Amino acid sequence: MLILRSKAPLRISFAGGGTDVSPYPEEKGGAVLNCTIDKFAYATLQAKEALESTTTVHSLDYNVRHDYEKQEDLVYNGELDLVKAALRLLKPGDRSGGQRALELFLHSDAPPGTGLGSSSTMCVALVGLFQQFLREPWTPYEVAELAYRIEREELGMKGGRQDQYAAAFGGFNFMEFHGAQTIVTPLRIGHEVQDELAYRLLLCYTGTSHYSNDIIAQQQSNYTEGRRSTVDALDATKRLAIDMKNELLRGNIDEMGRLLDEAWQLKKQFTDGISNDRIDAFYTRARAAGALGGKLVGSGGGGFILLFCDFHRRANVAKAAHDAGGRVVDFSLEPGGVRTWPVRTAA
């Protein structure tokens, strides 16, 4: 029996999120600064000779198991649609040669709705897994674009491109989006700068999840209608991503707090629903305790918030976040992108 495993890292976005969402990048070009962390989406594939080419999918996060015997069974109904779309487009069972039964096991360190890009990351983990299984020579760009196609085109899920590219490449990246063309520039940031930045960042779960489709759809509508506040905020967000990248490369850590706060104030102007009374109160409390800045790391409405703290006030901010109903999650920066490997089994 062949066993393959893959893992892809989740990401935190510092600036530029929203400018990777169509039609903004096609018309003006987007720019995003992000990095990956040591939280992952995992996928395992077991393949064995069988009389029937059945594919079985286990979602360990949702405690769901389904069998699919043929392509016609892969109907989108809101349950395991991401996996079904990957199976429909990449056809690993049909292309593997011979009669094989496939079994998939999926789980993630962060469920959907947290703002860490977990759905896209799981999609990249699946594409990486099937790449290894089918022995395809795909580049990280091609892996990311396949994941984008599965989510955005096949399933019609709203969103941009940064999550797929972050999971495929890993590390600190400055990403530029010009229509269908994406340029990923890995950033050479000294270890001492990375260590200091990681120490002064707090990743806090706000206690509420978010549904990004509605928020992103409204942002797209506001932009296409020419709503001035949305257009101006997106333009300023792109410039801010460039400024933050430059400050980070220079090692100006102290500027990160101010720029994260500026990014958050701009993000709230994209559309209604990005923040709410609970999130505003949470952020105000963290600021009062000593956070110099911060922002929700997803499209908005809830999930994880990233806070930047002064060295002496970090513990105070963590306590304030806890008292406000949040949960601080330990993390480290992750330099690598999606990885796959075979699992050795006893003969």
In three-state form (DSSP H/G/I as H, E/B as E, the rest C), the secondary structure along 221-266 is: HHHHCCCHHHHHHHHHHHHHHHHHHHHHHHCCCHHHHHHHHHHHHH
Residue-wise pLDDT tens digits, 275-311? 888 999 999 999 999 999 999 988 777 789 999 998 8
**Fold topology of 2-188:** Ribosomal Protein S5; domain 2 (3.30.230)
32 forms bridges with which residues in the sheet?
175
Closest to 123 (Cα-Cα) out of 160, 91, 85: 85
Domain boundaries, the chain: 2-188, 191-328
- What is the CA 49 to chain-centroid distance, rounded? 35
Clarify whether 163 is annotated catalytic: yes
Q: Are 201 and 172 in contact (CB under 8 A)?
A: no
Q: Are residues 161 and 124 in contact, defined by beta-carbon separation less than 8 angstroms?
A: no
Mean pLDDT value across residues 167-192: 95
Give the orientation angle of helix 162-169 with respect to helix 140-148, to 10 degrees. Answer: 150
Q: Which residues contact 44 (CB under 8 A, 6 or more apart)?
A: 3, 4, 5, 6, 104, 105, 106, 129, 343
Percentage above 90 pLDDT, the chain: 79
pLDDT of residue 95: 64
The CATH number of domain 191-328, selected from 3.30.70.20, 3.30.70.890, 3.40.50.410, 3.50.50.60: 3.30.70.890
Residue 113 in this model has a pLDDT that exceeds 70: no
Once rounded to an integer, what is the mean pLDDT over residues 25-38?
97
Q: What's the whole-number average pLDDT of the chain?
A: 92
Residue 104, C-beta contacts closer than 8 angstroms, at least 6 positions apart: 43, 44, 45, 55, 56, 57, 58, 83, 126
pLDDT, one tens digit per residue, over 240-278 is 999 999 999 999 998 999 999 999 999 999 988 888 889
Annotated catalytic residue: which of 163, 235, 272, 280?
A: 163
DSSP state of 152: I
Q: What is the pLDDT of residues 55-70, one digit of tens each?
A: 999 999 889 999 998 8
Q: How many whole angstroms separate alpha carbon 116 and alpha carbon 151?
A: 16
pTM of the model: 0.94
